[in-house]
Amino acid sequence: MEPAQRRRFSIIASHLRPLALSSSILSPSHCTSSSDSDNNCSNLEADCIFCKIIRGDAPALKLYEDDECICFLDNNPVSPGHCLIIPRCHFPSLVSTPPSVVAAMCSKVPYISKAVMKATGSDSFNLLVNNGVDAGQVIFHTHIHIIPRRAQDCLWASESLKRQPLKLDQEALHLVNNIRQQLSFVDGLEDGKDHGPTLIGSH
C-alpha cells in the first residue's frame, strides 16, 4: 500500500476505533503502537520531552493516536481533561510546522474535544496554542491545548482580558497594510494576488 494510502487508512481506522481499550494507556516504554524505527518521522530530538513520549521513553496518559499525531493528558492540567495534540515529528513551534501537519493536528480537534467534553461533563472548551516564549510556550515541540471549561470554573473569561476598542485611524490602516504586505512576501514568495480593499463594508 502507498504511504499516503496507508496514512489515510490508518486515520480512518483510528477514527473508527481510536485506541483499543486493551491497548496501553500509561505506556512508559511503548507510548505509541509503532516502534521508533517505524515512526514515520526521523527528526525526533534527544532532549525534547514530547519526542521522548513519542519514542516511548517517557510516560503519558494517551487518549488518541494515528500516523501523524498523538494526544495525551497534560501532566499539569488547567482543568480535568486538559490534553495536548502533538505531531509525531518535532517542530519547535506552530509557525515552523508545515501547514499539512497543522491541518492534521487541527482536523482531530472536533473529534477529540467532543470525547473530552462528554467524558468531563463540560460543553465548552478553549483551544490554545502558545507560540513563542513571550506567549508562554515552554515546551518547544509544537502542540495544541484542549482545555475543557465549565460554568464558574474560575479560569479566565474572554471578557476579563484587557481590551481596547479598535480605532479606524491611520495607525490601524498602516498596521493592516503592513500585515497584508508581509502576507504577500511570506517566505520570500510574492503571491501577487489582489487582496481586495483594506476597509471592507465602506462605500
Q: By CB under 6 A, name the binding residues for ligand 5GP.
A: 49, 58, 60, 72-76, 84, 130, 136-139
Three cell numbers at 160?
476579563
Active-site option among 143, 145, 195, 203: 143
> Which CB, 74 or 153, lies closer to ligand 5GP?
74
Closest approach of Cβ 186 to ligand 5GP, in Å?
24
Q: Using alpha carbons, select from 172, 92, 104, 158 the residue that is nearest to residue 130.
A: 92
The burial class, CB within 10 Å (0-12 / 13-18 / 19+), for 46 is exposed
Minimum distance from residue 25 beta carbon to Zn ion (Å): 21
Q: Work out the number of other CB atoms within 10 angstroms of the CB of residue 138.
A: 6
Task: List interacting residues with Zn ion (CB under 5 A).
Answer: 45, 48, 50-51, 90, 141
Our answer to whether residue 145 is catalytic in this structure is no
What does 62 bind: ligand 5GP, Zn ion, none (CB cut-off 5 to 8 Å by kind)?
none
Give the one entry of ligand 5GP, Zn ion, none that residue 51 binds, where binding means its C-beta sits below a cut-off of 5 to 8 angstroms depending on kind: Zn ion
The entry of ligand 5GP, Zn ion, none near residue 124 (CB within 5 to 8 angstroms by kind) is none
Gap between the Cα atoms of 88 and 13, Å rounded: 18
The dihedral over CA atoms of 84, 71, 99, 79, expressed in degrees to the nearest 10, equals -20
Task: Compute the least distance from the CB of residue 75 to ligand 5GP, in Å.
Answer: 4
Half-sphere exposure of 48 (CA within 13 A, CB side): 20
Q: Which is nearer to ligand 5GP, 66 or 82 (CB)?
A: 82
The residues annotated as belonging to the active site are 143
